[in-house]
Amino acid sequence: MTAATLQPEGRRHTLVTLEIGRFVAALSVVLYHYSAVIQNAFDTLILGDMFRAGHVGVPYFFVLSGFIIYHIHRTDIGQPKAWRRFAIKRAIRLYPMYWIVSGGMLLAFIAMPKLYDGHALSLTNVLVDFALMPQHHAILSISWTLRHEIIFYALFSFAIWFGSRAFWAIAIWIVLSAIIAFAIPEPANYLGLWSLIASPLNLGFGIGMIVAQAIRRPVNTPPVLIIIVALAGLIELAWMEWRLGAGVPHTINILGNAGDVAYLIMAGLLVYGLVTWENSRRRPIHAPIWKMLGGASYILYLVHPPVGSAVIRILQKLHVTSPNLIYCIMIMAAILCALLLHLMVEKPILRLLSDRMMTRPSSQSRPA
């Protein structure tokens, strides 16, 4: 969910193509989840369940996160003094809006306990959940992806502190993820809360870092061709999942771990193609609307479950019975809510916290 703002050669600019990718990835997850909601509520499939593969947005986010973190903080590796700045930037980007959305849901659960289908809420569970530590029954169910992010940030901070030799920690984590995920059918049954280390999706962080290193020495292949290959691969995987998953619940991973890895590889190719294509342009792309939508993608990801739940309850009370209409209203409500929160809450908070926490007193103001 990291913002696609890069700093090549000391210049700060936003890659619009990655912002578009962020929004499309977040929207695909929304379409995927809302399709399942409509199916559970009305026992009907939206457009023949064509958005079944919408979860591909998650692999894209994992790859993009690895790419952005390595690209922006590559020069911080081996610089212990940069650790504080890295930790603060990541915390500011990840936690405030997560706390706001989760806090709102917590208040709703306290007011209406029947809404919470997990175990009884306790202060310990809430504190662990708000810290994004391993948790079985999170208030915001989709926060499981953020817990993977926390592990990646922690391991990357080792490299910032100890230098590039500390990358072995990230490598071990990724290798263990692959081995355990492919060797154990249901890792959660054996590892419990620590099953986060057993997801093939963790490979995405490594792929993203490889892409960030690769763009420094672009190949002669036209970027547009790479983009076409990546999109074709993603479409082919989605088509296979749609055909093989006809009538199968969304909780079942049709393509298995191999499919997850294939999605990650295609996402890596797509990020590489987009970055090299946009960097090869003589003039930057100016698309304010896509920058805004990309900036709101993190909020869209966080807020769409509670917004969808609220909208479908309200519409059912208003006796709206058309699944397709409810589906469209849920999507529009989620996007609108995300944009409003991004512009009116997230951006001011990020600006305020950055000004307060990222600035240090200058040496001239210190006593002699």
The pLDDT, as a whole number, for residue 113 is 76
Tell me if 161 is assigned to some domain: yes
What's the CA gap between 27 and 300, in Å, rounded? 8
CA 56 from centre of chain: 11
The pLDDT, as a whole number, for residue 8 is 41
Residue 96 φ/ψ region, left for φ over 0, alpha for ψ in the -120 to 50 degree band, beta for the rest: alpha
| Run means of pLDDT, 10 residues per run, the chain, 368 residues | 49 76 96 93 88 94 95 91 92 95 91 71 87 85 92 93 86 83 66 70 93 86 94 96 86 86 95 92 81 94 95 92 94 97 95 81 39
Tell me if 339 is assigned to some domain: no
CB atoms within 10 A of CB 324: 12
Tell me if 368 is assigned to some domain: no
The pLDDT, as a whole number, for residue 186 is 64
The pLDDT, as a whole number, for residue 367 is 38
What's the CA gap between 364 and 367, in Å, rounded? 8
Name the strand (E) or helix (H) holding 241.
helix 223-244
Tell me if 306 is assigned to some domain: no
Residue 8 φ/ψ region, left for φ over 0, alpha for ψ in the -120 to 50 degree band, beta for the rest: beta
Number of domains in the chain: 1
Tell me if 359 is assigned to some domain: no
The pLDDT, as a whole number, for residue 349 is 94
Tell me if 141 is assigned to some domain: yes
Tell me if 311 is assigned to some domain: no
Tell me if 364 is assigned to some domain: no
**Residues spanned by the domain of 25:** 5-297
Tell me the backbone φ, ψ of residue 4, rounded to 5 degrees: -85, 60
The pLDDT, as a whole number, for residue 10 is 39
Q: Hey, what amino acid is at 13?
A: H
Q: Hey, what amino acid is at 132?
A: L
**Residues 326, 143, 67, CA angle at the centre, nearest 5°?**
105
